[in-house]
Amino acid sequence: MSATNEESKSASKSPLAEEAQPTAMAGTGAAVAMPPRTFRDFFRGDLGFVPVLITLAIIVIVFEVLSNGDFLTARNISNLSDQIVTVGTVGIAAMLVLLLGEIDLSLAAVSQCCGAIMAVLLVRQGLPAPVAILGAIAAGAFIGLINGLFVAVLRIPSFIVTLAGSIAYAGVLLLVLQPQTTLQIRDRGILDINATHFQDPVMGYAVPLIGVVIYAAALFYNRARRVRAGLKVGSIGGLVVRIIILAIVIAGAIAIFQSNQFNGGIPQSFFIWICLIILFYLILTQTAFGRHVYAVGGNAEASRRAGINVVGLRIIIFTLASSLAAVGGILQVSRGTGADSQINPTLLLNAIAAAVVGGVSLFGGRGSVWAVVLGAIIIGGLENGLNLLGQGQEIREIIEGIVLVLAVTVDAIIRRANAVQGR
């Protein structure tokens, strides 16, 4: 295959070209209206969100019925939001690496190791909470840099590098906490990350709605950019419907959080996670860096020939991933009020599952940061609902494993179907 063809294939993976290739009218400045979608189109490409939403709806209905209405109470929804922020944050990290067609098996170990580093800096070294937090994130970035150098420069498979790293960082975790196995946190600056709930009009109402406005602006900006490039575009009505649906969901979530008589308002940890989601959504869809991530994940060799610094990009992604894992560890320490030397055995599985179940491809080049939101809610909803029904850890892990296998199977089927159709 020639370099030109390779680059064309890579470009089709980018957010701007994920719907369609340039048409014969490209270059004239005229946009081409998209033809009506068939039923099959809803199950191809990034529109795999449709079956994910159906799955989420089934989970909500089943647990609401089986729990006699306890699943959708304001108190349980607030608890669920607290439970998913760590998995959701580490899930963003997993998503970034998966977009490159790589994998990071050290994320759980890095998360808890950096959480322990923050706890030690705070309790034993007496540093202020902001400094301890920055120290933990810096440690995560350094670990990610090392992982990235091995993968990108020395070209050692990421599976091997991060598997070895997972073992090593588990040892570092034990070393950092010695001679204790747990280290309790009493600093309000850390504990309030999880304990604080926003009830005021600005943080409780205005800021979430500003997020909707930013999302809407990004959608219209992308559409305008596609029009200028002469690419196919969807209807304005379709964009408006998406924005209205999101606004209704956000408003409903705010109403549920504010009605919680035990802990009213939006949890600060959940708010931080949503801010990270919006940040990386903008990075991946509105910047050249984000387009390069999709291009490298789609075809690394074509991206290299097109002038993209593939080595540098891989190093940056692994550094960002471990930094996000460190943030997840900080949120977990805040929720658990302490650092533990025992690595959570399901954190890595749940983080990768959150990305894959939401629609991020294991083969690279396809997926969205919003997939992590849906995936985390599905994984967290399964655990939360099974807990309400009194099921044990063994049942939860069996069901989560089945859901993950089904998600990967669907991803593989969609990928093969798109390949046959020449997409």
Mean pLDDT by 10 residues, the chain (423 residues): 43 39 39 46 48 81 88 84 91 95 94 95 92 96 96 94 94 92 89 80 72 83 85 81 81 76 74 90 90 93 92 96 96 91 88 86 84 88 88 81 76 68 55
For residue 415, what pLDDT is reported?
A: 64
Angle between helix 288-298 and 310-336 (nearest 10): 100
pTM recorded for the entire structure = 0.82
For residue 2, what pLDDT is reported?
A: 43
Binning the chain into helix, strand and coil, the percentages to the nearest 5 are: 75, 5, 25
For residue 195, what pLDDT is reported?
A: 81
For residue 411, what pLDDT is reported?
A: 65
For residue 422, what pLDDT is reported?
A: 54
For residue 16, what pLDDT is reported?
A: 35
**Contact of 340 with 174, CB cutoff 8 Å:** no
H/E segment holding residue 330? helix 310-336
Beta strands in 118-191 (DSSP E): 182-184
**Contact of 257 with 74, CB cutoff 8 Å:** yes
The C-alpha atoms of residue 110 and residue 166 are separated, in whole angstroms, by 7
Closest C-alpha to 298, from 150, 144, 423: 423
Alpha carbon 374 to chain centroid, angstroms: 9
**Contact of 208 with 250, CB cutoff 8 Å:** yes
Pairing of strands 32-33, 232-233: parallel
The C-alpha atoms of residue 56 and residue 259 are separated, in whole angstroms, by 23
The C-alpha atoms of residue 249 and residue 235 are separated, in whole angstroms, by 22
For residue 421, what pLDDT is reported?
A: 60
Report the length, in residues, of the chain. 423
Could you tell me the sign of the dihedral formed by the alpha carbons of 31, 37, 41, 46, in that order? positive
Q: Which residue has the tokens 């909500």?
A: 60
Q: Which two tokens stand for residue 305?
A: 């020939």
**Contact of 372 with 388, CB cutoff 8 Å:** no
H/E segment holding residue 338? strand 338-340
At residue 363, the 3 state secondary structure works out as coil
Annotate 69-97 with b (16+ C-beta within 10 A) or e (fewer). eebeebebbbbbbbbbbbbbbbbbbbbbb
Closest C-alpha to 352, from 376, 334, 336: 376
Per DSSP, helices labelled H in 340-388 are 347-358, 369-388
